[in-house]
Structure 1
């Protein structure tokens, strides 16, 4: 593993350990670097701020998790894997998703999901315009965030429904057919 990734992982681990007892908003870059045993310059060489570190941790973790689980193969697998990943890192993500200001993980996850849904829309509706695919991506990312955020803020105490139920509710066959039909016109 390149040294740069080792340092990023060290900083992420430090943040994760601190977040087990302290809300993200109360954690400073000094807290992170002191806990990690590195200097502030090292932190700022890799990240703009603590929120950039949180977003890197999410991107690095979720991408590996989805690839490892072959979750890009279907809607069902992807939705289940996202929920499983968040649950496996429950303390961190409950804390990180509580912040919704500039550079927030909420914003980052929305954009991440939007890109996935936009790509799926493009695959499902090859004649759709880029704007149509973007709007479909935003719609489904917003719908999923509307469920994920309250669930995370509530401490992820209950299991969110499994994917066949998600897909039936979010992507009913009739809606998919209607979307394809309206694009073809």
Structure 2
């Protein structure tokens, strides 16, 4: 991905570089975008899925952006793809589901329609800004972009997620 856009890379090229077979590839992944999303899941486990367990919201976001920055070439290119199974779409679904579950646990029931709307809007916006940051040279430090995303939370969502902190501190 450092020399070829993701959308132009073929599965044949991937299996050749990985010294494996197409059968092995397709036994594990639907397509090359599924492979990218699997790699992104490694990031999710180390960062935002640890929010409220090991990290605060801000700390989880900082971990996420540090991971993306460390893998700059990969993520910069991965976020450029607009395939239906793209990393943009996958990241959106992951964080939407993650925040939805946190809010449902906190409120003890399904999301109110207005909260669901605010959450979808915030998740879309935060992913868009993540893509802009990743593909635009990562000019802000991970701490800065994480801080801005926390600050950008709509007030009602901010209230629901404000006490998101490690369980030991809860």
- Asked whether the two chains share a fold, i.e. TM above 0.5, the reply is yes
Alignment root-mean-square deviation, CA: 2.7
Instruction: Tell me the residue number matched to 1:6.
Output: none
Q: Could you tell me how far apart the structure 1 residues matched to 2:69 and 2:157 are?
A: 31
TM-superposed CA distance for 1:79, in Å, is 1.7
CA distance in 1, matches of 2:157, 2:134: 31
SS in 1 for 2:138: coil
- Give the TM-score normalised by structure 1: 0.72
The one-character-per-residue Cα deviations of 1:41-96 (angstroms, maximum 9, x if unpaired) are: 11111111101111111113331x228x9544422122212211211111100000
How does 1:69-88 map onto structure 2 within 5 Å? 70-72=50-52, 73-88=55-70
Selected match of 1:130 from 105, 111, 133: 111
1:169 corresponds to? 152
Task: Give 1:137 shift.
Answer: 3.1
8 Å CA contact 1:100, 1:106 repeated in 2: yes
Separation in structure 1 between the aligned mates of residue 128 and residue 9 of structure 2, nearest angstrom: 26
Number of residue pairs matched by the alignment = 156
2: CA distance between counterparts of 1:94 and 1:29? Answer: 20
Q: CA distance change for structure 1 residues 127 and 135 in 2, over 3 Å: closer, same or farther? A: farther
Q: 2: CA distance between counterparts of 1:134 and 1:20?
A: 38
Judged with a 3 Å threshold, the aligned counterparts in structure 2 of structure 1 residues 174 and 82 are, in CA distance, closer, same or farther, namely closer
How do residues 1-185 of structure 1 correspond to structure 2 at under 5 angstroms?
19-63=1-45, 65-66=46-47, 70-72=50-52, 73-124=55-106, 126=107, 129-130=110-111, 132=113, 134-160=116-142, 161=144, 163-172=146-155, 176=159
CA shift, 1:131, in A, is: 5.2
Q: 1:136 to 1:121 in 2, by over 3 A?
A: farther
Q: Which ranges of structure 1 fall in alignment gaps of 5 or more residues?
A: 1-18, 178-185
Following TM superposition, by how much is the alpha carbon of 1:171 offset from its aligned partner in structure 2, in angstroms? 4.8
Gaps of 5+ in 2: 161-170
Which segment is superposed worse, 99-108 or 134-143? Answer: 134-143
Measured at CA, do residues 175 and 52 of structure 1 come closer, stay the same or move farther in structure 2, by a change above 3 Å? Answer: closer
